[in-house]
Amino acid sequence: MRVFKFGGASVKDAAGIKNVYDVLQKVGYEDVLLVVSAMGKTTNALEDVIKNYFEKSEELNASVQEVKKYHNQILLDLFEDEKNEVFAAANTLFSELEYFLAHNKSPNYNFVYDQIVSYGELISTTILSHFMSYMGIKTQWLDVRNFVKTNSNYRDAEVDWELTQKNIAKNVKKKMLNITQGFLGSDENNFTTTLGREGSDYTAGIFAYCLNAESVTIWKDVPGVMNADPRYFENASLLSHISYREAIEMAFYGATVIHPKTLQPLQKKEIPLYVKSFINPMLPGTCVSKGSDSEWQIPSFIVKRNQLLISLSSIDFSFIMEENISEIFALFHQFKLKVNLIQNSAISFSVCVEDKFENFKDLNPILSKKFKVDFNENVTLYTIRHFNDKAAQTVEQNKTVLLKQVSRETMQVVTKES
């Protein structure tokens, strides 16, 4: 079985849904499992719903209606007859969402987030599945929450691999097109969980591992894995082949083409991962697999924006030692700040972190009890794999360098625009 993942950009409108059908016609769809994200910017729109829900905003109903209107227009563009059962199926999902908003009693933001945001994937796959059937392709729609079982760490759940393996091996049908949701799972109480933002790639890796899949293909709006984001760098080059190790390194440092968690399960069973264009599906794209390739020596640029650079120094000029660092990292873990760069001296300790849950405002007073805390917001972290002098100059030009770290293979620079 092959596993395909289509992201939000590929199914953002009716034309995108039709293009998925065209891609499947060209590359085949028998014995295929599709993992599909929410349509377009639906996740962002549902985050607005969540914000309005907690703020008890008068805009709550309007924000829900915007999401409904967006999907209803796609339905009208895809299906000639409004009596098609897909309209009722979509309305049922929206009714469930509205029921939850009206009756939920939990004040836990992360729990509520997962229950609400999940409707993006549930609705997108419902529409796609009905369209494939409408076009004559026999499909099986799978509720991923019945397959991927996790703990209750809402918004960043960890997979119960043993139970997930049993569920997938027993229930996924071969010799047909299976369609399921990315990003989602469920806990032991069957409440919806999510695997972290952009977790649909990870879902594809989970299914591939459990099915001993032939391959995984992530369909993107780019030709494959590039050595730089073409939005930020001119003359970006396609990497036609990279190893699991190099891809994991790039993902760890923040390359957005492949989700960091996706590669580990694939590497364990040596399942190749392809990154290909849904615009030009017959192009070769990038293959991530076992082996080595000289292309790795090309400098590869990874950019992480909206970072937070925190510098801690001891108040009494004592050394910052292992005990202090251990305490600091325990707090970062508690407040869910992802550390992307570390640098320390005798009496200071600097970290570049990602504060995606906006928890630093609560952590700062705690740190300030023991350390002098300085920080810079909205900085950019550049990572260059296989750097050279020209590559370094490219990222440092016309910027204020706040921190720089160099190892044998990798250079990292934290900058502020000058």
Annotated binding site for substrate: 43, 121
pLDDT for 291 equals: 77
Q: What pTM was estimated for this model as a whole?
A: 0.85
State the architecture of 300-417 in CATH terms.
2-Layer Sandwich (3.30)
pLDDT at 292: 61
Task: Name the residue ranges covered by the structural domains of the chain.
Answer: 2-213, 300-417
The residue-averaged pLDDT of 91-106 equals: 98
What was the pLDDT predicted at 53? 98
- Is the alpha carbon torsion for 126, 151, 47, 250 positive or negative? negative
Instruction: Taking each helix axis as running N to C, give the angle between helix 14-27 and helix 60-78, from 0 to 180 degrees, rounded to the nearest 10.
Output: 50
Helix pair 85-103, 109-117: axis angle to 10 deg: 170
Alpha carbon distances (Å) from 254 to 281, 339, 353, 388, 398:
25, 11, 12, 20, 23
Q: What is the pLDDT of residues 318-345, one digit of tens each?
A: 888 899 999 999 999 999 999 999 999 8
In this structure, what token pair is assigned to residue 363?
A: 């952590």
Query: pLDDT at residue 418 above 80?
Result: no
State the pLDDT confidence band at 293, using cuts at 50, 70 and 90: low
273, 267 Cβ separation under 8 angstroms: no
Residues within the annotated binding site for ATP?
5-8, 231
Does residue 195 contact residue 159 with C-beta atoms inside 8 Å? Answer: yes
**pLDDT of res. 378:** 96
Which amino acid would we find at residue 177?
L
DSSP E strands, 315-361:
338-344, 348-354
Q: Does domain 2-213 have CATH number 3.20.20.450?
A: no
Q: What phi and psi values does residue 244 have, to the nearest 5 degrees?
A: -55, -45
Nearest 10 degrees: CA dihedral of 352, 353, 359, 360? 0
Topology agreement, domain 2-213 and domain 300-417: no
Exposed/middle/buried for residue 199 (C-beta within 10 Å: 0-12, 13-18, 19+):
buried
CB distance 123 to 40 below 8 Å: no
Q: Is residue 87 within 8 Å of 75, Cβ to Cβ? A: yes
- Per-residue model confidence as pLDDT tens digits over 197-240: 678 999 999 999 999 999 999 999 989 999 998 888 888 899 99
Which element (helix H / strand E) includes 276? strand 273-277
Distances (CA, A) of 178 to 35, 317, 347: 9, 62, 57
Neighbours of 270 (CB within 10 A): 9
Give the pLDDT band of residue 363 (cuts 50, 70, 90).
very high
What is the DSSP pairing of strand 192-194 with strand 184-186? Answer: antiparallel
What residues form the annotated binding site? 5-8, 43, 121, 231
Question: Residue 205's Cα: distance from chain center in Å?
Answer: 12
Q: What are 52-73's pLDDT values in tens digits?
A: 999 999 999 999 999 999 999 9
